[in-house]
Amino acid sequence: MSHRSLHFAEFAEKCKELGVELVTGKEKAISQKLISQVQRSEFVIFAALPPAISNRFFVLYGNKCREANKTNLSTIASAQTCITYSTDLIAGSGSAVIVTNTLEERQATSLPPELIVFCRNPKVHHNVSDFLAAGRARLSPGSTLTIVSGPSRTADIEQMLIKGVHGPKTVSVYVEEGAEN
């Protein structure tokens, strides 16, 4: 097995532990999966998703999809699902790296109860140090880089683990493999 697939196996294992739904597949399968999620959801916000991907949904489901940067806070707050994009995964902690460049994108990835992270041939790093050392963390003014490791959670009440506090209650990672970047 290559380093990448080794890391990916570890990532999958960690997702299971954190309760993160992980789906991998070719372009068509992942695309189908995304469509079914949009169909199922009451309202979907796209944040930092490449336009080539989000545009398809506007054509089909324009009445229940919005682009975070083209709407307002109350619409974002009322959405059930956010679909966002990641280019980097971290195996050891089951994390996806999400970069947002506007306040609205940051709100959209924080407020809805469901978060779906779409990745196309992501780079899989062993741990946070490797990720930061790879020079892929661009900390430029105006950006927010978040390493998300599973659903929002708390143990403040009698040290009982409960999911879904201020951030998403469920996190899914869809990995499209084999496509050309």
Partner 1 sequence: MVALLRSHHVRRIVKSKSMTTEEIGLDDYLERDGFEIVSTDLGERAIQLAGDKPAHIVAPAIHFTREDFARLFREKEGAQVSSDPEEITKVARTLLRAKFLRAEAAISGANLLIAETGTVVLVTNEGNGRLGPSIPGLYISVAGVEKIVRNTSDASSILELLARSATGQSLTVYTTFTTPPQVGADGHRQEFYLILIDNGRLSATKDFLAPALKCIRCGACLNTCPTFNCLGGHVFGDIYTGPMGILWTSITQGVDRANEFSDLCISCGLCSSVCPTEIPLAEIISDVKSRGMNHRGRRISEKLLTSVEKLDRATCLSPPLWNKLSSSSLASPVMPILGLDRRRRAPGVAHPLKFLDNLGTPDTTLIYFSDVFARYHNPAIAIHAKRVSNELGHNLYFPTSQVEAGMPYLSYGMVQSARRIAKKNIGLLWEYVNLGYRVVVTEPTALYILREVYPRISPSKEADAIASNSCSLGSLVLEAVDSGKCKLDKPSIGAKVFYHSPCHARAVEKTPYSQLLKLSGYAVTESDVTCCGMGGTFGYKKGALGYDLSMVVGKELFEQLKSFGEGIVTTDSSVCSIQMSDGAQKTSVHPLQLLKVMR
Residue 3 CB, nearest approach to partner 1 (Å): 19
Nearest-CA neighbor of 20 among 176, 163, 179? 163
Determine if 104 is a binding residue for partner 1 (CB under 8 A).
yes
Which SS3 state, helix, strand or coil, does residue 173 take?
strand
Radius of gyration of the chain (CA): 16
Beta-strand relationship, 114-125 and 153-154: unpaired
**Whether the Cβ atoms of residue 116 and residue 37 lie closer than 8 Å to each other:** yes
Q: How far apart are CA 4 and CA 165, in angstroms?
A: 33
Residues 73-102 that bind partner 1 (CB under 8 A): 73-74, 77, 90, 92-95, 101-102
| Interface residue with partner 1, options 166, 172, 175, 176 (CB under 8 A) | 166
Question: Can residue 125 be called a binding residue for partner 1 (CB under 8 A)?
Answer: no
Q: Is 179 in the site for partner 1 (CB under 8 A)?
A: no
Q: Which stretch binds partner 1 (CB under 8 A): 1-9, 26-34, 35-43, 152-160?
A: 152-160
Contact criterion met (CB below 8 Å) for 20 and 94:
yes
Whose Cβ is closer to partner 1: residue 1's or residue 139's?
A: 139
Residue numbers at the binding site for partner 1 (CB under 8 A) = 14, 68-70, 73-74, 77, 90, 92-95, 101-107, 110-111, 127-129, 131-133, 137, 139-160, 162, 164-168
